């Protein structure tokens, strides 16, 4: 049941908002780590102080599972082996090999590491814990369409959040065909008759490692919150729906990504049929399709074949039903969630010009009998209007509807949901290609991590001002408070009410922080009608 709260609108740019966890890192603690070394299940690891905050220790490149290579390719992750001596944890491990890694990551998912490899199941830890601490844990799952990205991206540096009182972990997971390929032969060799969800299984393996080891870093294994953006939020959604992750997670934050639409999870037969076509293209005409031949192909050859879709497979094991069905039945994790999206998500996915006639024809093909209603809601009288409508349509169908639906479907369990709407437009300079992007997809990430100017991504080179810094102070505090208590609210912060479908309220996080009812309600209700038609027509 939603909590009753008094509501406050706070305009940023005036007085600094006092964050519940403090806006400055704590003074130097008596570290639980002795001389930078910490003992985990596999052995002794030697970390380094953060170059952003000397009170924070960083441990990079810790293996949480065995390398998924050779005979372990396309299998659930196996435990990592012990090591002898002291492991140097000063540098990140390789990122998972991916399609056009450097070129793709340059725009929004800065690589942060030089090496990519099939041997990539590593995580990174930031901690400022004192002796005896049991701090809340924030585990970041990176985005990138389940095809690109990595946990060592410099945008995800956890030092600032660790300075606020959380232990921060970022993880890698297998992507593309190496992480999401379903195939009849792979299902046949599985004890569970399942294939296709290896990236999700990697994420669950990392969470098991965290349960076993995070106390050594001053973290509380009973207060683990997963958070992620875009495909990272898809992954958060997946993990909270899988029975295999039961007991490993106590809170979840999804930023701009959910899986309640028809493409969010794929029926087993459909996924295996697509996987069969993929493997035939990989091995070539006339080659016998065997598991040995599939595993003998190089990772580069695997990635050289276009993967039609990297999404979860309803395999009966990792996912007993579609994500929508799991939530509708109340079979997801009964844990509190923060979910939300940005005002202008679609700008980075829309070409510079949209031809009105082609746009109008596309609506009819996509929405059928609802095409006229969609055209009235998203009109295309000229090129400029067609572009704006295409942006709005993509924003609503792919992000806004997903996040509102996620909040609504939490009504099937007792735990609260908190819905947000991020509308702050990051500062841009004249000639900046992002000047017309508004509150674009990924725009909230540097605010959440309090990482202005840290990465080499487009987030970095901006004239961040006091309003941005104050907003980051509030947003980072909400996230850490939530990890600590399951409730983002705290002293000095604008009140954020738990979501109630009847009130339909979201916290707008922008130049002004305020509670708004019915954000884009008519548009999202129309999208809801469309997806209801598709569900009714599905087998």
**Residues 361-415: pLDDT tens digits?**
999 899 999 999 999 999 999 999 999 999 999 999 999 999 999 999 999 999 9
| Residue pLDDT, tens place only, 233-259 | 999 999 999 999 999 999 999 999 999
pLDDT at 197: 98
Q: Please report the pLDDT score of residue 113 as a whole number.
A: 59
Residue 67 pLDDT more than 60?
yes
Query: In whole angstroms, what is the distance from residue 23 CA to residue 349 CA?
Result: 34
Give the predicted TM-score (pTM) of the model.
0.93
3-state helix, strand, coil in the chain (%, to 5): 35, 15, 45
pLDDT in tens, 70-98: 999 999 999 999 999 999 999 999 999 99
DSSP code of residue 539: -
Quickly state the pLDDT bin for 453 (edges 50, 70, 90). confident
Q: For residue 76, how far is the Cα from the chain centroid?
A: 21
pLDDT over 70, % of the chain: 90
Mean pLDDT lowest among 17-21, 180-184, 281-285: 17-21
479-535 pLDDT, tens digit each: 999 999 999 999 999 999 999 999 999 999 999 999 999 999 999 999 999 999 999
Q: What is the pLDDT of residue 399?
A: 98
pLDDT of residue 171: 98
What does the DSSP assignment read for 228-286? EETHHHHHHHHHHH-GGGTTS-SEEEEES----STTSEEEHHHHHHHHHHHHHHHH-TT
pLDDT in tens, 272-281: 999 999 999 9
Contacts of 139 by beta carbon, 8 Å cutoff, 6+ apart = 168, 169, 170, 171, 206, 207, 210, 224, 225, 226, 227
Residues 6+ apart with CB under 8 A from 176: 98, 99, 146, 147, 302, 303, 307, 310
pLDDT at 353: 92
Kindly write down the DSSP assignment for every residue of 311-337, as one continuous string.
-EEE-SSS-SS-HHHHHHTT-S----E
- Specify the pLDDT at position 11: 52
CB 175 within 8 A of CB 37: no
pLDDT tens digits, 130-168: 888 999 999 999 999 999 999 999 889 999 999 999 999
Choice among 155, 230, 389, 455 that is catalytic = 230
Residue 50: strand, helix, or coil: coil
341 SS3 class: strand
Q: What is the mean pLDDT of the chain?
A: 91
The three-state (H, E, C) secondary structure of 472-513, written as one string: HHHHHHHHHHHHHHCCCCCCCCCCCCCCCCCCCEEEEECCEE
- The alpha carbon of 392 is separated from its chain's Cα centroid by a whole number of angstroms, namely 22
CB atoms within 10 A of CB 262: 14
For 456, list phi and psi in degrees, rounded to 5.
-100, 10
Confidence of residue 219 (pLDDT cuts 50, 70, 90): very high
pLDDT at 22 over 70: no
Sketch out the chain's domains with CATH numbers.
10-348+386-537 (3.40.50.1820)
Catalytic member of 272, 345, 470, 508: 345
What pLDDT score does 538 carry? Answer: 81
Q: Rounded to an integer, what distance in angstroms lies between the CA atom of residue 303 and that of residue 280?
A: 14
Calculate ∠ Cα 282-205-122, nearest 5°. Answer: 75
Q: pLDDT band for position 1 (50/70/90)?
A: very low
Instruction: Please tell me the distance from the alpha carbon of residue 446 to that of residue 251, in angstroms, as a whole number.
Output: 21
* Spatial separation of the C-alpha atoms in residues 440 and 62, rounded to whole Å: 33
Based on the residue annotation, tell me whether 345 is a catalytic residue of this protein: yes
Over residues 417-439, the mean pLDDT reads 89
436 as an active site residue: the answer is no
Nearest alpha carbon to residue 224 among 323, 129, 143, 335: 335
Checking if the pLDDT of 269 tops 60, the result is yes
CA R_g for the chain:
23
E strand map for 331-412: 337-342
Q: Among 183, 441, 459, 530, which one carries the catalytic annotation?
A: 441
Name the band, by pLDDT with cuts 50, 70 and 90, for residue 106: very low
Paired with 419 in beta bridges are 339
Tens of pLDDT, residue by residue over 306-364, are 988 899 999 999 999 999 999 999 999 999 999 999 999 999 999 999 999 999 999 98
pLDDT the model gives residue 308: 82
Task: Please indicate whether residue 441 is annotated as part of the active site.
Answer: yes
Measure the CA–CA gap between 27 and 490, rounded to whole angstroms: 21
pLDDT given at position 104:
42
What pLDDT shows up at residue 181?
98
Q: CB-based contacts of 269: which residues, under 8 Å, 6+ apart?
A: none
Residues with Cβ within 8 Å of 63's Cβ and at least 6 positions away in sequence, in order, are 42, 80, 93, 121, 122
């Amino acid at each position: 049941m939603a909590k009753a709260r008094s509501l406050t609108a706070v305009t940023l740019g005036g007085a600094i908002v006092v964050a519940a966890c403090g806006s400055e890192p704590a003074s130097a603690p008596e570290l639980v780590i002795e001389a930078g070394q910490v003992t985990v299940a596999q052995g002794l690891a030697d970390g380094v102080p953060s170059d952003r905050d000397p009170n924070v220790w960083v441990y990079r490149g810790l293996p949480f599972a065995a390398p998924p290579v050779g005979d372990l390719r396309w299998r659930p992750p196996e435990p990592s082996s012990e090591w002898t001596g002291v492991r140097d944890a000063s540098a990140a491990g390789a990122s998972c090999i991916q399609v056009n890694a450097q070129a793709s990551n340059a725009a929004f998912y800065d690589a942060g590491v030089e090496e990519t490899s099939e041997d990539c199941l590593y995580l990174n830890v930031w901690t400022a814990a004192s002796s005896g601490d049991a701090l809340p844990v924030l585990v970041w799952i990176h985005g990138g369409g389940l095809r690109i990205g990595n946990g060592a991206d410099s945008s995800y540096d956890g030092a600032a959040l660790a300075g606020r009182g959380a232990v921060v972990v970022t993880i890698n997971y297998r992507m593309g065909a190496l992480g999401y390929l379903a195939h009849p032969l792979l299902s046949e060799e599985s004890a569970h008759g399942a294939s296709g969800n290896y990236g999700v299984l990697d994420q669950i393996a990392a969470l098991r490692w965290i349960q076993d080891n995070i106390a050594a870093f001053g973290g509380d294994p009973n207060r683990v919150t997963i958070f992620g953006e875009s495909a990272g939020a898809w992954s958060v959604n997946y993990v909270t729906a899988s029975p295999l992750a039961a007991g490993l997670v106590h809170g979840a934050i999804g930023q701009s990504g959910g899986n309640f639409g028809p493409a969010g999870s794929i029926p087993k037969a459909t996924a295996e049929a697509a996987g069969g076509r993929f493997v035939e293209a990989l091995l070539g005409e006339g080659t016998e399709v065997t598991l040995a031949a599939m595993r003998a192909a190089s990772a580069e050859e695997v990635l050289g074949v276009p993967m039609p879709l990297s999404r979860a497979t309803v395999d009966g094991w990792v996912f007993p039903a579609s994500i929508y069905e799991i939530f509708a039945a109340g079979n997801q994790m009964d844990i509190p969630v923060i979910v939300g999206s940005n005002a202008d998500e679609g700008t980075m996915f829309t070409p510079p010009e949209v031809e009105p006639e082609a746009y109008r024809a596309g609506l009819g093909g996509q929405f059928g009998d609802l095409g006229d209603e969609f055209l009235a809601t998203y009109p295309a009288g000229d090129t400029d209007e067609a572009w704006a409508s295409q942006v709005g349509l993509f924003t609503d169908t792919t992000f806004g509807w997903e996040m509102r639906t996620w909040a609504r479907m939490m009504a099937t369990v007792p735990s609260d949901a908190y819905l947000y709407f991020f509308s702050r437009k990051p500062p841009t300079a004249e000639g900046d290609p992002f000047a017309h992007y508004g509150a674009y997809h990924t725009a909230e990430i540097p605010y959440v991590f309090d990482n202005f100017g840290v990465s080499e991504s487009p987030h970095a080179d901006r004239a961040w001002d006091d309003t941005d810094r104050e907003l980051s102070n509030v947003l980072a505090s909400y996230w850490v408070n939530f990890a600590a208590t399951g409730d983002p609210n705290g002293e000095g912060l604008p009140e954020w009410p738990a979501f109630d479908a009847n009130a339909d309220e979201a916290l707008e996080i922008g130049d002004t922080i305020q509670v708004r009812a019915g954000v884009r309600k008519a548009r999202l209700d129309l999208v809801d009608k469309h997806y209801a038609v598709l569900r009714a027509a599905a087998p």
